[in-house]
Structure 1
Amino acid sequence: MSVAELSGHAVGIDIGGSGIKGAPVDLSSGDFAQDRVREPTPQPSTPGAVADVVAALSARWPDGPLGVTFPAVVKDGVALTAANVDDAWIGTDAAELLRTLTGRSVHVVNDADAAGVAEARYGAAKDVRGVVLMATLGTGIGTALLHDGVLVPNTELGHLVVDGHDAETKASDAARTREDLSWKEWAKRLQRYFESLEALLQPDLFVVGGGVSKKADKYLPLLDLATPVVPAQLLNTAGIVGAAALAAEAELAGGPTGPSPG
């Protein structure tokens, strides 16, 4: 699916541990069609409480398909894990719950996957063929894997074991902050992580996301990789934009929660 084939608007909502953000997205450009709205994530962040907030947000923009990101492994709309939200989400059919409350088609996707799709459709990986791996460096490491623009969902490569450690415990931005690492020290850990990904995947492009991507000039030039590595472009809009694009693609493919056709 190319950007040229997408038109009109879709709504994206990004569920996080502290905030739930949404906006309608112009699918031809990837820009917000109206200002983003943010509401605090309910505490406790149970399925019913969070779904009520999502439904209220989506009612602001009643037209077009609805895409929702979730901090979990999501298969066929069902949350199989839960990160930074209540464990009651595990096993919940999030797509069905939200369809029931909103009365519209809903596509639910892992938050890192949504960001990767946004970069592939509108950002740093636009028009890149072959294998693209996006790594979001934050509290942990989220990853999104795409081949010729088609998402391979739920890769969870932040948990790759590198030098005997779960990668995100050593190479995330949280690890850099927690251990007070210099950019050079952190870059050495990123080097090992991305080298391991290269050996497994032979990618054509790495995209580095997360808030720390704003400071990419501090550490990306210190990496020595065979694969080009670039900072993400969409930053904190990526989840909303990617969710909206995937929802539109799923609707075109004929299923509210089906996989992206690419």
Structure 2
Amino acid sequence: MATNIALGIDIGGSGIKGALVDLHAGDFASERLRIETPQKSTPANVAAVVGEIVANFADQLGDGPIGLTIPAIVQHGVTVSAANIDPAWVNCPAEKLFCEALGRDVVLVNDADAAGFAEVQFGAAKGHPGLVIITTLGTGIGSAIVHRGVLIPNSELGHLEIDGFDAEKRAAASVRAREGLSWGEYVPRLQRYYETVEFLFSPDLLVVGGGVSKKADKFLPHLKLRTPIVPAQLQNRAGIIGAAVLAVQQ
């Protein structure tokens, strides 16, 4: 196995995706393999699918560590929440479970943390020396905080209370779609969200990811902030890339 190759796997509510990652280039070194998330997405069922993905890449992978992302808060290897996956993940010793199921070292991280870290390593915030906050606008609002290249895990900035509301209940991309908001109606919600994040953290750079970032020209130029704010670059590759890099760094 090449020493610059690692496997990243992104566990989502609808699909589990994996690819080999070139750690120097910060991009896929193989085709991505996607398998549907089991309808009953318990730890055991998900671990079985992850095992299928690992087996697919085993010849190229060697005995290196694997990076996994999951839509949950991950504290010292334990998933203490669960979003779009089975409630059995709550307080599950998930990293240990995966290590035992796969028979190899595993590093488990929150999905937004992995994606945000990838953007700082290889994407929109590559090489940035300061405080970067990455947010993903999707079903909810995911977030990652990276200071001088070091990830501060489990920030959950989508759950800030703003004007009496959980922030993602007003400003997530899914809310715009569900309520049929025009861009003109959606921008004030994003303005309120990002000005609050800016006030609380005084970041040096804000990065906006999620599918809606492909239409960044519709909203980013209309936000009035002190902080530069830019669209993410790695799109749906970010979680897999970030997981692979974090696996070899820890």
Identify whether the pair has TM-score above 0.5, normalized to the shorter chain. yes
Quick check: 1:112–1:239 contact (8 Å CA) kept in 2? yes
Match of 2:123 in 1: 123
Quick check: 1:132–1:205 contact (8 Å CA) kept in 2? yes
Quick check: 1:59–1:102 contact (8 Å CA) kept in 2? no
Q: CA deviation at 1:193?
A: 0.5
Question: For 2:129 and 2:27, how far apart are their aligned partners in 1?
Answer: 23
Quick check: 1:11–1:24 contact (8 Å CA) kept in 2? yes
Q: CA deviation at 1:60?
A: 1.8
SS of the counterpart of 2:118?
A: helix
Match of 1:112 in 2: 112
Q: Deviations along 1:140-172, whole A, 9 cap, x unmatched?
A: 000000100100000001010111111100000
Match of 1:226 in 2: 226
Quick check: 1:184–1:222 contact (8 Å CA) kept in 2? no
Instruction: Map 1:53-202 to 2 at 5 A.
Output: 53-62=49-58, 63=61, 64-202=64-202
SS of the counterpart of 2:13?
A: coil
Q: State yes or no: 1:48 paired with 2:33.
A: no
Question: For 2:187 and 2:144, how far apart are their aligned partners in 1?
Answer: 21
SS of the counterpart of 1:44?
A: coil
Q: CA deviation at 1:55?
A: 1.1
Question: For 1:90 and 1:160, how far apart are their aligned partners in 2?
Answer: 21
1:23 to 8, 19, 35: 19
Quick check: 1:18–1:41 contact (8 Å CA) kept in 2? yes
SS of the counterpart of 1:61?
A: helix
Q: Which amino acid aligns with 1:20?
A: I
SS of the counterpart of 2:56?
A: coil
Which blocks of at least 5 consecutive residues in structure 1 are unaligned?
1-6, 251-262
Q: CA deviation at 1:186?
A: 0.8
SS of the counterpart of 2:53?
A: helix
Relative to structure 2, which stretch is displaced further, 111-120 or 59-68? 59-68
Match of 2:207 in 1: 207
Q: State yes or no: 1:11 paired with 2:7.
A: yes
Match of 1:254 in 2: none
Question: For 1:12 and 1:162, how far apart are their aligned partners in 2?
Answer: 35
Question: For 1:186 and 1:65, how far apart are their aligned partners in 2?
Answer: 42
Q: CA deviation at 1:21?
A: 0.2
Q: Deviations along 1:166-211, whole A, 9 cap, x unmatched?
A: 1100000011111111112111111110100111100000000000
> TM-score, normalization: structure 2?
0.96
Q: CA deviation at 1:30?
A: 1.0
Number of equivalent positions: 244
Identity over aligned pairs, percent: 59
Question: For 2:152 and 2:184, how far apart are their aligned partners in 1?
Answer: 32
Question: For 2:71 and 2:27, how far apart are their aligned partners in 1?
Answer: 23
SS of the counterpart of 1:43?
A: coil
Question: For 1:103 and 1:56, how far apart are their aligned partners in 2?
Answer: 13
Question: For 1:123 and 1:65, how far apart are their aligned partners in 2?
Answer: 23
Instruction: List 4+ stretches of structure 1 deviating above 3 A.
Output: none
Q: Which amino acid aligns with 2:72?
A: A
SS of the counterpart of 1:246?
A: helix
Q: Deviations along 1:25-68, whole A, 9 cap, x unmatched?
A: 00001111110000000011011000000011012223222000
RMSD over aligned CA atoms reads 0.8
